[in-house]
Structure 1
């Protein structure tokens, strides 16, 4: 790889490790598995507005500890998970919302699809999405005894010759994915191809899991496929899930409040978003007696007003794979719209959240294990509002995100004392004014002190590599660009500086 020289102070030398940014990145290939909880359905509605950003390989119904269909034979089941075993005891089925709601929302997507294509290329045709909907293992929590249409579909994708990873988003239980892996093991383990197949699948499958909602990861996937990469979100999703009023700082709560959703999402944005579930909206999911949030009186008893946000606890699983310039797909510890994670000490292929991936919360003045996700709420919601506008507005009347490029390199190696000159540029497709901001994402780097950036609100900025920085330490600098349109939209570029020895 070619190295380039950058401007330096006095006679110090900084070595550029990589060329210019804006390298074309192929669209992530994704499969969603979902149990149909109300927050899954809201996540799915938002996901449909972002499908142009992905290669959607599959949309698969699965079960979880919270939702399963039963086998239709009256078989009694009790959860392996202590919380649901205590809550529900023995059941023949549990809160099952059916296997037609994704098709229903895709039907509504059909009505806004022509307008969406005015704003961005590559939105998938509705019939193409319908062809990807499959029913997986749904009979009971942890159901993986037999192959299903959904598990066989996932198996086929994991074994195909299309290069690159497959990002398996686990919105419910892991069981249908586990069954796909089990079917691969059963077919190939006794053959001469097993080592090659095992390596291929282990390198290809990447799980983004929102909690363990059954025991199949622990009981089967982890012991039998330990090299499969996993991003495990157990905490950070909370700011976008049911407990958001306790988690989100007051300064950001308006983005999840009823007035915001009524104005920007629920009304006057087409038939798909009319069906987005909110508190007190008088909607009810068939088959789920615990979906009572649509009843306004019940909502008020819990402290909510009409049209307040309910939950999208699963959305971080696809936020993580949106290419907005933060480079978090290179390394989950970098942090991005889907949260920030640290590598497990026990399993180097597993990335987890928690105290080890906490970010400093400037509203509470504390390290906060959810702030790695919470910090993006305003920009995420404004981006959602933009997509909602795309459902009904012409290109001229809607807003579109700025496009950013770095003029300096995205990876730099430099000795302490070197002046790093940062330079970027941005264009706005709507002709809006752009606002620059360079900032240090301190938690993403390993140099744990604050650096002073000169001219952080200009396109060109600089800072000095600290004299006390050590060999191998990293400093992450984010170029954030906002437009002044409505809604205000944000994109990024990231520069990573690695400290060289003196």
Structure 2
């Protein structure tokens, strides 16, 4: 694990773009909290990595608009009821213009982003995907909306690719789309085929349960829709990060890094990124205190400095779509930048985090429910900083990620006790040397295998006690020597015959 290889690279010609036909397609639903705004800014800088098919305003247990008629509403969620009380007209509603406003800033940096990857979607294209979903109250799914109808249309279309539905707030607009499909087709002869098609196509990545619509409707009526449920690992990118992130990773969330490398001097889009003490205030949310420099010392979350990271609690959802070489999309139990999830013992279509998905935190020496994400923070933040540079720098002055290869492939059958050798290589479009290392991701597989790297060869010693069917996940990690230093991976799965 401590062995490093410095590769001096020759000229390469690799494309930064992703083939359109292999792109994952996605629809975002969001309640517009300040952490959603920050997530969306990062999302836009990675929007070349996937195909956005909808940007939908929705509600949650924390944010709803009200129906404009003074109707009182009491939350179904005990935490919301305890904090805000009962019989509320509206709650901390940020409006339905902030996405469009951020897209206007994206339009300014878009020509420069195209210098780095031609797959960035145009501002006009993204603007045409904005819809208002079910926003009147928490859990609102009473009527069809433009947002729910867009989701319905995409679930029923002829595209066989997965439709990755991100719930940054509640799942209510997604639930309304599914309810509309049920209403339209349940009494027809095609219902079972349609239900099967939609169930196979949809994946819901939900950041906690922010309303009760999954419990009350989706889970019982659409039990075969795949769900990735993140209730713990989001915390390292959310408001309590100082209590969760290992000390070695915290500098990459602090203002000294965020201000210089991401927020300042990186164009108008990044200036809209909310951070501690930045003087910004979100309209419609009286709880947004973080921008006031006088109020960020000795808070219940800790003390903060100017430009410190606040929260991007929803970024794990879209990061599951970003292919950095960890091959975790099809099987989230493998782990990646979005976290690591295990299959529910009660539902074969549901992946969850929590105690069973914990990784060993080497700093604490204990199993840690957040470490499946905190282990990647340095790499993720440096990558974000590079994307910020793409907003303002020409191609030759910015850094771009290396590409890692393993000659033997990424799936190999082996015997117990076998010594496996893997021939590694790295290419870098910027001609930077790349540092290679390899390590065994014990928790993603069935235990530990010793790994060494020397002269572009990784040597893996399979335990003699390994049993048939066991898997050992070897992560090949390559970090270039540009700035910000960028890391990509290959995961090699060694399976016992």
Matches within 5 A, 1:130-279: 130-279=127-276
CA contact (8 A) 1:399 1:485 kept: yes
Partners of 1:499 and 1:24 in 2: how far apart? 35
CA contact (8 A) 2:361 2:371 kept: yes
CA contact (8 A) 1:423 1:459 kept: yes
| Matched residue, 2:10 | none
Q: Give CA deviations for 1:14-51 in whole Å, capped at 9, x if unaligned.
A: xxxxxxxx999811101100000000000001100010
Matches within 5 A, 1:285-324: 285-302=282-299, 303-324=303-324
| Matched residue, 1:6 | none
| Matched residue, 1:453 | 451
Matches within 5 A, 1:15-54: 26-54=22-50
CA contact (8 A) 2:417 2:466 kept: no
Report the 3-state secondary structure (helix = DSSP H, G, I; strand = E; otherwise coil) of the residue aligned with 1:396.
Answer: helix
CA contact (8 A) 2:64 2:93 kept: yes
Report the 3-state secondary structure (helix = DSSP H, G, I; strand = E; otherwise coil) of the residue aligned with 1:340.
Answer: coil
Report the 3-state secondary structure (helix = DSSP H, G, I; strand = E; otherwise coil) of the residue aligned with 2:227.
Answer: strand
| Matched residue, 2:15 | none
Q: Give CA deviations for 1:447-486 in whole Å, capped at 9, x if unaligned.
A: xx432223x2542122232211001110000110000110
Report the 3-state secondary structure (helix = DSSP H, G, I; strand = E; otherwise coil) of the residue aligned with 1:70.
Answer: coil
| Matched residue, 2:106 | 109
CA contact (8 A) 1:432 1:484 kept: yes
1:417, distance to aligned residue in structure 2 (A): 2.6
1:404, distance to aligned residue in structure 2 (A): 1.5
| Matched residue, 1:394 | 394
Alignment of 1:58 with 2:54, yes or no, is yes
Report the 3-state secondary structure (helix = DSSP H, G, I; strand = E; otherwise coil) of the residue aligned with 2:249.
Answer: helix
Partners of 2:484 and 2:275 in 1: how far apart? 21
1:88, distance to aligned residue in structure 2 (A): 1.1
Alignment of 1:330 with 2:343, yes or no, is no
In the superposition, relative to structure 1, how do residues 24 and 273 fare at CA in structure 2: closer, same or farther (>3 Å)?
closer
1:395, distance to aligned residue in structure 2 (A): 0.7
In the superposition, relative to structure 1, how do residues 457 and 491 fare at CA in structure 2: closer, same or farther (>3 Å)?
farther
Matches within 5 A, 1:83-98: 83-89=79-85, 90-98=87-95
Partners of 1:217 and 1:54 in 2: how far apart? 25
Matches within 5 A, 1:411-450: 411-446=411-446, 449-450=447-448
| Matched residue, 2:119 | 122
CA contact (8 A) 1:438 1:457 kept: no
Partners of 1:266 and 1:438 in 2: how far apart? 33
| Matched residue, 2:383 | 383
RMSD in angstroms over aligned alpha carbons? 1.2
Partners of 1:55 and 1:197 in 2: how far apart? 24
1:198, distance to aligned residue in structure 2 (A): 0.2
Report the 3-state secondary structure (helix = DSSP H, G, I; strand = E; otherwise coil) of the residue aligned with 2:189.
Answer: coil
For structure 1, the 5+ residue unaligned runs are 1-21
Q: Which stretch shifts more, 456-465 or 195-204?
A: 456-465
| Matched residue, 1:17 | none
1:319, distance to aligned residue in structure 2 (A): 0.9
Give the number of equivalent residue pairs: 476
CA contact (8 A) 2:29 2:168 kept: yes
CA contact (8 A) 2:274 2:291 kept: yes
User: TM-score with structure 1 length normalisation?
Assistant: 0.93
Partners of 2:364 and 2:327 in 1: how far apart? 27
Partners of 1:379 and 1:218 in 2: how far apart? 35
For structure 2, the 5+ residue unaligned runs are 1-17
1:120, distance to aligned residue in structure 2 (A): 1.1
1:301, distance to aligned residue in structure 2 (A): 3.8
User: TM-score with structure 2 length normalisation?
Assistant: 0.94
Q: Give CA deviations for 1:393-425 in whole Å, capped at 9, x if unaligned.
A: 011110000012221121111211322121121
Report the 3-state secondary structure (helix = DSSP H, G, I; strand = E; otherwise coil) of the residue aligned with 1:435.
Answer: strand
Partners of 1:145 and 1:439 in 2: how far apart? 51
CA contact (8 A) 1:436 1:457 kept: no
Q: Give CA deviations for 1:144-169 in whole Å, capped at 9, x if unaligned.
A: 01100100010000000011100001
CA contact (8 A) 1:437 1:458 kept: no
In the superposition, relative to structure 1, how do residues 25 and 418 fare at CA in structure 2: closer, same or farther (>3 Å)?
farther
In the superposition, relative to structure 1, how do residues 483 and 375 fare at CA in structure 2: closer, same or farther (>3 Å)?
same
CA contact (8 A) 1:173 1:214 kept: yes
Partners of 2:233 and 2:262 in 1: how far apart? 24
| Matched residue, 1:362 | 362
Q: Which stretch shifts more, 225-234 or 457-466?
A: 457-466
| Matched residue, 1:494 | 491
